[in-house]
Structure 1
Amino acid sequence: MTKKLFYDDAYITRFETAVSRQGQDEDGSHFVVLEQTAFYPTGGGQPFDEGNLDGIPVVDVEEKDGEIRHYVEKSFEKLPETITGEIDWKRRFDHMQQHAGQHILSAAFAETLGYETVSFHLGKETLTIDLAVENMSEEDAGKAEALANAVIREARPIEIKWMTSEEAAAYPLRKGLAVSDDVRLVIIPDFDYNGCGGTHPRSTSEVGAIKILDWEKHRGLIRLQFVCGDRVLEQLHRKNGVLKDLTAVLQSPQDNMKEAAVQLLDKIKVQEKQLEEVKQELLKYEAKDLAGEAVKLTGGAAFIKGAYQDRPIQELQQLARQLIAAREEAIVFLAVQNDAKLQIVGARGKQGDTNLKELAPKIFALINGKGGGKEDFIQGGGEPVLSPKALLDKIEHLLNEE
C-alpha cells in the first residue's frame, strides 16, 4: 500500500520516494506507483492533485486495485530508484479551501435549518451540494451563509483524528460513516464532526469566505451552487467586470442598472411590436402583388407561387394564409432556400378541392425531403437539388396533372 503523505501533512508540496513500478492501462495511459505520495487521488467528491514527477506532468491520480496510480504524460524511459514529486500548490490549496468550506456550509444548514446534505461535488469553478429539502427561500440561504462565514471568522481549528467506528460513535456525527475501520474524523470543535478522507486546512480562517451563488430543484432535492476562498474573489472580479461593461452599455450607474435595463427591455418590446405591425402591412402589399401574378391551372383554379432566398419560413406561412384568405379559390406554393435547405409551404383556399396532403409525398420526393400537414395546408423541407423556382414549376406541373 502506498503511504499517503497528504494525510500526514496536507501542506506538503515536495517529496522524494522510491518507485514501486510503472505500468499502462487498457486504454494506453501510462502510470507510476510510488512507495509514498503527497498526490491526492480522486475521491469523496474531491478531484485529484496535479503536479509533476521528476518534471513529467501528472495528469490524473486514481486509486485502483489497492494502489495509487499517478498517470503521467509519458512513461519513464529508465525507471529511477527514487523520484521527486511536486504538487501544484495553488490547485491543492483551492481544493482544501473548497472542501473545508463545504463542511462548514453543510453544518451551517444542519444547524440553522435542519437541512441534511446528501451529496457534494467540487467542480473547476463552483461547488454544489444537494440538500434534502424540496424548497428553500432567500432568507434560509442567508441564515446558513451568515453562520458559515461567522465560523470562518472565528478561526476555529480544523482537527483530524483517526479512530475506530466505535470511538467515532461517541461524537455527534453529521452523517453515517462510510467505513468501519480506520475512521478519519474531521472536526471543527462544537460545530461539525464528519468522517472524511479529503484534504483540509488547519483553521477555518484559511477558507476565507463562503458565497452562495444560486440553487434549483433537482430530483426532489435542492441543488445549491456556491464558492469558497479565493474563488469568491474570482467570482467578484468576474461579476465586477460584467457590471462595468453594462454600466457603459446602459449609460447608467450600477445602483440604477436594474431600472435602466427594464426601461431598455420595455422599449425593445414596443419596437418589436411596431416592427411586427409594419411587417404585417408589408405582407399585405406583397400578397396583393403575388395574387396579381396568379396563373390558371388546367382545372380552373388560380395558382399563386413565390420563390425566395434566405427568408424565414414563418413569414412564408403568414404570407400563404393571407393569400388564401384573399383568394379563396387559389392554391398557393411558396419556396425558399435557407443555407443548405430547401423549404416549401403550400396552402389551399376554402373554395378549392385539391387534397394537398395526398399531393405532399410527390412534392417532397422532388427534393429528397419530408413534411406533412392537412388537406389545405402543408409544409416541409429537403435538399436544394432544385432552385426554388424550378421546384415551383414542377409543382405547377403536378397540379395540372391532378
Structure 2
Amino acid sequence: MTRRLYYEDPYQMEFESTIINIDEDERGSYAVLEETAFYPTGGGQPHDTGKLNGIEVIDVEELDGEVRHYTRERLSDGDGRVYGSIDQARRIDHMQQHSGQHIISAVFHDDFGVPTTSFHLGKDTVTIDLDTEKLSDRLLGQAEDQVNRIIRANYPVVTKWVSVEEAEQYPLRKTLAVEDEVRLVIIPEIDYNGCGGTHPNATGEVMAAKFLGWTKNKKQVRLEFVCGYRVLDKLGQKHQILTEMKQIVPKPEQQLVEEVQELIKASKEKDKRIAELEEQLHKYEAREIIEDSIEENVIQRVFLNRPIKTLQSLGKAISEKTPEAYLILISEQENQLQFVLACGSDIDRNMNEVAKQVLPIIEGKGGGKPNFVQGGGKRLIEGVDLADRVKALL
C-alpha cells in the first residue's frame, strides 16, 4: 500500500519517494510510488496536480488499491527515485472548500433539520444537495451567519483513524459504509464525519463562506457557495464588472440596477417600434410586388441576404391579397438558401408536398401549414434555379 503523506500532513507540498511501477492504461501513462503527497479523486474532492521530476501530473486516481499518478509524459524510472511537488494553491483551495462544506452541512442539519445528500467541489463554485424542496431568504441568511461565526471562532479540525466500533461512539451524521478502520474529521461540538478528504488544522483557515444561490434539483435543493480565497475572487470579479458598468452607465452602484432596467425597457420599446415600422415597410413592398405581378398566377422573387422572418412577413402580406396566385420567395445568402412557398386561399394545394420535392436539392429542411411553408438548406444551386424548379412543380 502506498503511504499517503497527505493524511499525515496536508500542508506537505514537496516529497521524495521511490517508484514502484510505471505503466499505462486507457487514461494514459502513470506511476505508482511508495509514498505520495498527491491526493487522488474521491469523496467529492478533485485530485491534486503538480509535478514528478519536473513532469506535469494531470490526474491522480485510486484504482485496484493503488494510487496512480497520470503524467503528461511518461516518467523515466532512472535510479528509481522521484521528487514530487504539489500545486499548493489548488490544495489549499480544496482544503478550504471541503472544510467549509462540512461546516455548512452541519449547520443546515443541526440548526434547521435539513440533511445534505451529496457534495460536488467544482472548479469555480461548490454545490451541496439539501433534502428540502425550498429555502427562504431568511433561513439562508441565518445559516450563512452561523457558518461564518463557526469559521471565525477558529475551532480545531481534528482527523483520526479509528475502528468502526470506536467511530460509532461519536455523534456521526451519516451511517458508515466501511467495515474496517475509518478516518474521522472532527470539528468539536460542530461536526463528526467519516471523510477521506484534506482539511486545514482550524476552521479559521476557511476564512469565510458565501452562499451564491440555490436551484431546484428534482425534489431537492442545490445550494451553490464558495469559501476561502474564492470569496475574494468572486468579490474581485464582481467589483471589476461594476467598475466597467459604471463606465457605461455613470450612476452610483446603488442605482445601477434601476438604471439598467430602464435602459432595457427603453430598448424593448424601440425594438417594438422598429418591428412595427418594418412590418409597414413589408406591406408597402408587398403592395409593389403585387402591382408588378398583375394577372400572374405565380409570383416569384429572389432576394439577397434577406432574413427568413422578412420572407415570412412579405409572404403573408402578399398571399392575403392574391387568393388565386402561388408565391415563391427565396433569399440567397453566402452558404445557404432560405425560402417561403405559399398559395392563395382559392387554391387547393398542399405546399408541403411541393417543398418535399425540392428540399433534397439543397439538402434542406422545412415545413409549415398546407398553404404556407418555409425552409432552407445549403446553397448548392442559385436562387433563381431553385425558384424555377419550384415553379415547374406547380
Q: Please give the residue correspondences for 1:28-39 in structure 2 after superposition, counting only pairs within 5 Å.
A: 29-39=28-38
Deviations 1:272-291 (A, max 9, x none): 11111111110111001110
Q: Which moved more, 1:78-87 or 1:224-233?
A: 78-87
Q: Please give the residue correspondences for 1:255-266 in structure 2 after superposition, counting only pairs within 5 Å.
A: 255-266=254-265
For 2:107, the aligned partner's letter is A
Partner of 1:136: 135
Pick from 358, 363, 385 the counterpart of residue 363 of structure 1: 358
Partner of 1:338: 333
Unaligned 5+ segments in structure 1 are none
Partner of 1:208: 207
Q: Find the aligned partners of 1:62 and 1:370 in 2 and give their Cα distance.
A: 47
Q: Find the aligned partners of 1:191 and 1:321 in 2 and give their Cα distance.
A: 69
1:353/1:14 CA distance change after superposition, 3 Å: closer
Shift, 1:323, TM fit: 0.8
Residue 390 (structure 2) pairs with residue 390 (structure 1): no
Deviations 1:16-56 (A, max 9, x none): 222212112245x2211111111111111111111112222
Structure 2 residue matching 1:225: 3-state secondary structure: strand
Q: Find the aligned partners of 1:366 and 1:18 in 2 and give their Cα distance.
A: 67
Contact 2:19 2:77 (C-alpha < 8 Å) held by counterparts: no
1:312/1:188 CA distance change after superposition, 3 Å: same
Q: Find the aligned partners of 2:176 and 2:374 in 1 and give their Cα distance.
A: 61
Partner of 1:147: 146
Partner of 2:121: 122
1:323/1:186 CA distance change after superposition, 3 Å: same
For 2:301, the aligned partner's letter is G
Residue 59 (structure 2) pairs with residue 60 (structure 1): yes
For 1:112, the aligned partner's letter is D
Q: Which moved more, 1:388-397 or 1:242-251?
A: 388-397
Partner of 1:226: 225
Residue 303 (structure 2) pairs with residue 308 (structure 1): yes
Deviations 1:128-177 (A, max 9, x none): 11111111122222121111100000001001121111111111111121
The normalised TM-score by structure 2 is 0.96
Q: Find the aligned partners of 1:25 and 1:289 in 2 and give their Cα distance.
A: 71
Deviations 1:231-261 (A, max 9, x none): 0000100111011111111221111001101
Structure 1 residue matching 2:277: 3-state secondary structure: helix
Shift, 1:318, TM fit: 1.5
1:394/1:19 CA distance change after superposition, 3 Å: closer
Q: Find the aligned partners of 2:22 and 2:390 in 1 and give their Cα distance.
A: 70
For 1:41, the aligned partner's letter is P
Unaligned 5+ segments in structure 2 are none
Deviations 1:328-373 (A, max 9, x none): 2222111112342212111112222344233333333443434333
Structure 2 residue matching 1:386: 3-state secondary structure: coil
Shift, 1:78, TM fit: 4.1
For 1:56, the aligned partner's letter is I
Partner of 2:266: 267
For 1:111, the aligned partner's letter is D
Q: Find the aligned partners of 1:356 and 1:48 in 2 and give their Cα distance.
A: 59
1:327/1:75 CA distance change after superposition, 3 Å: closer
Structure 2 residue matching 1:390: 3-state secondary structure: helix
Matched residue pairs, number? 394
1:355/1:74 CA distance change after superposition, 3 Å: closer
Q: Find the aligned partners of 2:204 and 2:53 in 1 and give their Cα distance.
A: 34
Partner of 2:369: 374
Partner of 1:178: 177
Deviations 1:196-215 (A, max 9, x none): 00000000000000011121
Structure 2 residue matching 1:185: 3-state secondary structure: strand
Q: Which moved more, 1:369-378 or 1:121-130?
A: 369-378
Partner of 2:168: 169
RMSD: 1.6
Q: Which moved more, 1:254-263 or 1:243-252?
A: 243-252
Q: Find the aligned partners of 1:152 and 1:251 in 2 and give their Cα distance.
A: 38
Contact 1:336 1:343 (C-alpha < 8 Å) held by counterparts: yes
1:190/1:317 CA distance change after superposition, 3 Å: same
Shift, 1:296, TM fit: 4.4
For 2:339, the aligned partner's letter is I
Partner of 1:282: 281
Contact 2:354 2:390 (C-alpha < 8 Å) held by counterparts: no
